[in-house]
Amino acid sequence: MNNTIQIVRGMHDLIPNDVVKWTYIENILKKILINHCYDEIRLPIIEKEILFKKSIGTITDVVEKEMYSFKDKSENKICLRPEGTAGCVRAVLDHSLIFKKKQRLWYIGPMFRYERPQRGRYRQFFQLGVEVFGYLEPEIDLEIILLNLNWWKKLNIDEYLTLEINTIGSIEDRMVYQKELMKFLMKNKSNLDQQSKDRLFKNPFRILDSKNKNIQELLLNGPKLFNFLNKNSIFRFNLFCKLLDLIKVKYTINNNLVRGLDYYNDTVFEWKYKVSNMSQNTICAGGRYDNLVKKIGNYSSPAIGCAIGMERLISLYSLISKKSNFFIKKNDLFIAFLYPNLYLESLKLSRKIREIFTNVKILLEITHSIKKKYLRKANKLNSKIFIFITSKNIKKKTILTKDLKKKVDFKFSESELLLFLKEVFI
């Protein structure tokens, strides 16, 4: 019997080599965010369950089936956040960040949804999200799209991504449309798959988003949301498209694009990639949510946001990027010693060097052994410099040093060693 405790289903570890790749990509994304004047916000993973019920909507997949909800020891109903927007809205209200003020914010962190795990779909996954508060103008929709595009360009993946946009109007428009859609779907009920049948009475709007080709064909003959939209939403959408055209951003209008969460209105969008055998192909999705702030707090503010699914972005990047040499730089300087009584001397030296050379990776091997063994190890780790401490050399006040790249041996005094290291590392 295998007694090893396994990872929980749907979770995944990022081992050090993965972290190097993640950090590289995160840094690129962060630089662009700073470049566009977005400020980072850090939010808790646990929120009150009611926050998501109120914002995402109780009849959505996320709230109905996917929430990690539980009661804490004081019987409070809390949950692991399934997304970042609602928590961000709660926080900006809590801290009065949006009262008569505009905000451009971003965050990164794990989200939790009890879904069926598959490639690109996990129960814990990371999102990098962006939320902007205070602007109604379609120019802000454009700003977010351009920010996204700059990310993809910097990562050299822009050619593999397509932008799909849609407008879903106001809640009132959707209520009227939903009735017509229901009539149509009821007439064609025998042609619906089980998932769509399940959604029929709960949230028929979501059937538009079905990934089943037969359903999509059926919908071609159904009522179109676009024909039910109010004039202002259409005007706004046309303006948004015109702006995209003006600066030559490529996009397609997908009138069946709806989002999985209830709070969106008007502009919605998704960045998708077309790579064979990858079914989870949306890497970034977002839209406007002008009514959400009022729903959560006692204040009204227009808002728009989007979120990248980091695992999907990174797997796409790995698939198409030419940069594959993500390895950990093991260390620059390897210090070892011959006998146990030399540990303190070695520690003293390593502390001194670490204090001066703060950017250098210095490894002090804490178990003693013969020089040959550690020299081999230092070479294996690709160290630049090797230092070996012996009693004999301590007596003589010298330090055995080897430049592993040039293959040259030295016997330095401490001050000579520091000068030498300066030459090598600074």
* Alpha-carbon span 288 to 304, nearest angstrom: 4
Instruction: Note the residues at the interface with ligand ATP (CB under 6 A).
Output: 83, 113, 115, 120-122, 125, 127, 259-261, 280, 282-283, 285, 307, 309, 311-312
Say how far apart CA 152 and CA 148 lie, in whole Å: 6
Nearer to ligand ATP, 282 or 393 (CB): 282
Task: Give the shortest CB-322-to-Mg ion separation in angstroms.
Answer: 31
Q: How far is the CB of 123 from ligand ATP (least distance, A)?
A: 7
Report which residue type is found at 98: I
When the beta carbons of 149 and 283 are compared against ligand ATP, the nearer one is 283
User: Which one, 229 or 314, has the nearer CB to ligand ATP?
Assistant: 314
User: Pairing relation of β-strands 46-48 and 77-80?
Assistant: antiparallel
Binding mask 256-275 for Mg ion (x = CB under 5 A): ----x---------------
- Nearest to residue 170, comparing CAs of 109, 231, 98, 83? 231
Question: Residue 27: enclosing H or E segment and its boundaries?
Answer: helix 16-35
Nearer to ligand ATP, 85 or 103 (CB): 85
Q: For residue 358, how far is the Cα from the chain centroid?
A: 30
Furthest CA-CA distance within the chain: 96
Nearer to ligand ATP, 131 or 332 (CB): 131
To the nearest whole angstrom, how small is the minimum distance from the Cβ of residue 208 to ligand ATP? 12
Report in angstroms how near the CB of residue 76 gets to ligand ATP at its nearest.
25
Residue 364 touches which of ligand ATP, Mg ion, none (CB < 5 to 8 A by kind)? Answer: none
Using CB atoms, what's the residue nearest to ligand ATP?
309
Q: Which CB atom, from 109 or from 260, has the smaller least distance to Mg ion?
A: 260
Site size for Mg ion (CB under 5 A): 1
Beta bridge partners of 333: 362, 385
User: What are the CA-CA distances from residue 346 to residues 11, 336, 389, 418, 425 (Å)?
Assistant: 41, 7, 7, 15, 20
CB burial of residue 198 (10 Å; 0-12, 13-18, 19+):
middle
Residues that bind Mg ion (CB under 5 A): 260
